[in-house]
Amino acid sequence: MAKLNIRSSKSISIHDLKLPTISEQGKKALDIINSADANFADLEAALSADPVLMGILLKYANSPMYRTRVETKNVRQAINLLGVEIVKSAVLICTMRSFTEPLNPAKELLWEKVMQLTAMSKLIARKVGRKLADEIELTAMMSEIGGLVLSSNFISEYTAVLENAEAKRISLMDEELYYFGLHRSEITAVTMKKMRLPQISIDVLSRYFQQEVVDDVLTDIDKQLLILQLAYYFIAFSSKPELIKKDNKCQKMLELLGIENLNIDGLIESYNLSMAEETWF
């Protein structure tokens, strides 16, 4: 088990952490999207002015989840294909990718977790409603931002935290809390507020990290929370779908979402095909 040489948790303040910062063109794009009269020409110009953001957007449009038979080659085509809500996710991807250090050994592991949860959540949400699928994508994209922040601020220490969590067979979130004295939900909320992301996504992830049980679907927050929980479970047992079908808790969540007749084998097959391709971004 790795040994950590880390400061006392009392000396680590969330306000001292370096947090992701959206680029100026990314901020401009989000302001245009969130305005009452969004202008596509202005949005295209803002996205095109940032080469990194433009590259991410085109890669997103040509990813397994969205691509068509014809390759998307420019920003206008990407916007038309994805829609402005999904452009928000592309801005987040660019921000998160730019934030983490290239030599950060935890980066790709955490990023893989983001892609897995996002892909599975979106596949499940599409069975409930298209609008919900777009909304859950943004929420799922931020599910590992707390880990990315910690790993970027404490590169060597976080590597040891990963090793210890695996050795102890406990959740990474619990090991983060033990060594850094910071709860992932707190880091996530502060980061998302800084990035001016929707409060509903902050609330969903807060309840997700607390492993809250939903007994009735009363709000969109309840729906998103159930989908994230189902996605986590589906990913864990993607190689053994028969266990999902037999699990009463899982079946109860499917019923609450109104998709109790979901073709679980087909959904997992779609997920595996998607993840088998090269990394999305």
The whole-number pLDDT of residue 60 equals 83
Amino acid at 121: S
Picking from 154, 172, 151, the residue whose alpha carbon sits closest to that of residue 100 is 151
Q: How many CB atoms lie within 10 A of CB 211?
A: 10
The whole-number pLDDT of residue 11 equals 61
Q: Tell me the pTM.
A: 0.86
Measured in degrees and rounded to the nearest 5, phi and psi for residue 56 equal -65, -45
Instruction: Return the beta strands (E) in 49-106 as ranges.
Output: none
Enumerate residues 6+ apart whose C-beta is below 8 A from 48: 54, 75
Q: Which two tokens stand for residue 206?
A: 């807060």
Picking from 23, 22, 44, 49, the residue whose alpha carbon sits closest to that of residue 33 is 44
DSSP letter at 278 equals S
Amino acid at 5: N
Contact 101, 32 (CB under 8 A): no
The whole-number pLDDT of residue 4 equals 47
pLDDT tens over the chain, length 281 residues: 444 444 444 468 898 899 998 889 989 998 898 887 778 899 999 999 999 889 888 988 888 777 777 899 999 999 998 888 888 888 888 888 888 767 777 888 888 899 899 999 999 999 998 889 888 988 999 999 999 999 999 988 998 999 999 999 999 999 999 999 999 999 999 999 998 888 999 999 999 999 999 999 999 999 999 999 999 999 999 999 999 999 999 999 999 999 999 999 999 999 998 887 654 55
The whole-number pLDDT of residue 280 equals 53
**199-209 and 184-194 helices, crossing angle to 10°:** 170
Q: How far apart (Å, rounded) are the C-alpha atoms in residues 147 and 8?
A: 19
Phi-psi region of 216 (alpha: psi -120 to 50; beta: other; left: phi over 0): beta
In this structure, which CATH number among 3.30.70.1380, 3.40.630.10, 1.10.3210.10, 3.40.50.410 belongs to the domain 101-281? 1.10.3210.10
The whole-number pLDDT of residue 197 equals 87
So where are the chain's domains? 21-99, 101-281
Q: How far apart (Å, rounded) are the C-alpha atoms in residues 187 and 203?
A: 13
Picking from 138, 150, 147, 34, the residue whose alpha carbon sits closest to that of residue 86 is 138
Give the 3-state secondary structure of residue 142: coil
Q: How far apart (Å, rounded) are the C-alpha atoms in residues 65 and 159?
A: 31
Contact 174, 160 (CB under 8 A): no
- b/e map of 164-199 (b: 16 or more CB within 10 Å)? bbeeeeeebbebbbebbbbbbbebbbbbbeebebee
